[in-house]
Structure 1
Amino acid sequence: MRVLILGAAAGGGLPQWNCGCPNCVSARSGDIEPQSQSSVAVSADGESWVVLNASPDIRTQLLAAEPLYPGAIRGTPVSAVVLTNGDIDHIAGLLILREKTAFDVYATGEILGVLSENAVFGVLDPDHVVQKKMRIGKTFEPAEGLSITPYNVPGKVPLYQEKGDVDTALISENTIGLEVKANGKTMQYVPGCAMLTKTIKERFASSDQLLFDGTVWQNDEMKTTSTGIKTGRRMGHIPISGDDGSLAQLADVQGPAKTYIHINNTNPIWNPKSPERRALKDAGWSIAYDGMEIVL
């Protein structure tokens, strides 16, 4: 299985257009490599590719990924796009892919409802772009030799659907993980997760590669960096650090190579000289970056 990290950052990318936090300043000056918004491409044969989440940066990401170049006057090696939730940073890129080239869109019923309720997604011509409903726990094959099984992870509804009190660790079709298999190898892709469960950890342990939610280092990171007021958990993301953070909770999961993805612009792990980056390295984790390739 070939895995291309098209984008490694959380919503807004690094730097964010309106942010002057230390990481964004360093990204503008070249001290930290800029990163686009979270998206991944996977393939069983290097010929047919499936994109996991279509970020708003998808055009630039496809231009930077030679294996995804068109092989004809009109066409694409991308056979499908698979969505893990309805967040803007995961669905807005579909609007860029409107040029009447055939591919399938796989999503849960909840997320397909988001697309159907918003008229702007009508630019995806149904004669070319077929929307297909994923069912939790049911395996499908979006490309030859590549199978995907969606499963529930705790999360919340997209920001634009929030009303009143929000259940940030809801078990529903709004937030899912993907188990991707090809040629005897297994990858878990979970760019958003509010809470880890025994079942999820057991699934991770039997895999070869884990791409997991690394949005914030500490729960109150937005407040301490003066960039916002919401905690990581309020945004539906488990923080990396702390006794109940993902780093500690996944320490006993020894099966897969472990990589953080969907990393917020404020997260100190972006700084290669930070103690937080060293802590991840010492714990056996790597950090996704734009253009990274993983071969399983």
Structure 2
Amino acid sequence: MKIHILGSAAGGGFPQWNCNCRNCDGIRKGTVRAVPRTQSSIAVSADGMNWVIVNASPDILVQIRATPALQPGRASRDTGIAAVMLMDAQIDHVAGLLMLREGKRLPLYCTASVWEDLNKGLPVASVLMHYCGVQWHPVDAQDAAGSARRFTIPDIEGIRFSALALKSKAPPYSPHRQCPQPDDNCGLLIENMATGRILFYAPGLGEIEPHIETAMRSADCVLVDGTMWTDDEMIRMGLSGKTAADMGHLHLSGPGGMIEVLDALESRRKILIHINNTNPILDEDSAERATLARHGIEVACDGMEINL
């Protein structure tokens, strides 16, 4: 099973187009040792030819150009993208769907709440019906009281998926922004059926509920939310009035933070994704990056590959 990281940044990418924080200004001027990142998305395949894209970021065309396997060139019009799966309806995870409008009817896997958002709050699906069209495949997400329903995707042979409900935030344009639904946001277990090896993927993760902890412990590799170093990061920098928790993300450092959560997983491979442009871990020479290294935690970058 191959997992290719198409994009590893949070919304806005890195550097963000209008941001002059230390990281963004530093990468432009060459005073910070860091690498640019596009907005978060992964591609999953069993054969290296047919892929499911998990989240379609606004940077998807750049990501496709950087990933030759997604354009195998078997016909005059072709793609290696067999389907798209969405973890939520956030604009940085769904806007890329519009860039796929020239293709064939698009198989789309997501929960009922996300599908509602794509037809009402941000009507991407309605727009696509005038172009390639969308074939919706409902996904049921396990919550704390239930068990995950495993499912497969045609042409993605030998890989099984399970969605898990996460406590995070629905988008601001969602009809249920103020009345959250259990399936607004999902994590994903991705299993190689031949080897039994599992990836847990959750780019947006606001709270570690018992069923999420169990899922993380079942995985051989966890690829999880690394958005912000501290809960008040954006407030202290004068860039926002919202905390990481307000935006549905668990901060990395301190008591109860993601580092502490990952430490409890012991020997599993642990990788952070969905990294905000303000996060000091983007600076490869920072004390915060050194802290992650001491804890055995990796930082995802565009083009990283995971084989399970």
TM-score tier by shorter-chain length is over 0.9
Which residue does the alignment assign to 1:174? 184
1:139 aligns with 2:150: yes
Deviation at 1:28, TM superposition (A): 1.8
What pairs with 1:173-252 in structure 2 (closer than 5 Å)? 173-182=183-192, 183-184=194-195, 185-252=197-264
1:276 aligns with 2:288: yes
Deviation at 1:70, TM superposition (A): 3.8
Structure 2 CA distance for aligned equivalents of residues 192 and 242 of structure 1 = 19
CA RMSD of aligned residues (A): 1.8
Structure 1 stretch 120-129 or stretch 213-222: which is displaced more?
Answer: 120-129
Which residue does the alignment assign to 2:164? 151
Structure 2 CA distance for aligned equivalents of residues 120 and 113 of structure 1 = 10
Structure 2 CA distance for aligned equivalents of residues 34 and 238 of structure 1 = 23
**119 and 161 in structure 1: CA distance in 2 versus 1, 3 angstrom threshold:** closer
Structure 1 CA distance for aligned equivalents of residues 49 and 64 of structure 2 = 15
Residues 103-162 of structure 1, C-alpha deviations (whole Å, 9 max, x = no match)? 411000001111122444334248653111101222111222221110111112112238
Which residue does the alignment assign to 1:2? 2
Q: Tell me the matched-pair count.
A: 293
Residues 153-196 of structure 1, C-alpha deviations (whole Å, 9 max, x = no match)? 111211223889x57xx561101101011232210110011111
**TM-score (norm: length of structure 1):** 0.93
**85 and 119 in structure 1: CA distance in 2 versus 1, 3 angstrom threshold:** closer
Which amino acid in structure 1 is aligned with residue 93 of structure 2? H
Deviation at 1:77, TM superposition (A): 1.2
Unaligned runs of 5+ in 1: none
Deviation at 1:27, TM superposition (A): 2.3
**TM-score (norm: length of structure 2):** 0.90
**262 and 127 in structure 1: CA distance in 2 versus 1, 3 angstrom threshold:** closer
1:265 paired residue among 277, 280, 291: 277
Which residue does the alignment assign to 2:144? none
Unaligned runs of 5+ in 2: 142-147
SS of aligned partner of 1:13:
coil
CA contact under 8 A between 1:206 and 1:255: conserved in structure 2?
A: no
CA contact under 8 A between 1:207 and 1:255: conserved in structure 2?
A: no
Deviation at 1:76, TM superposition (A): 1.0
Which residue does the alignment assign to 1:64? 66
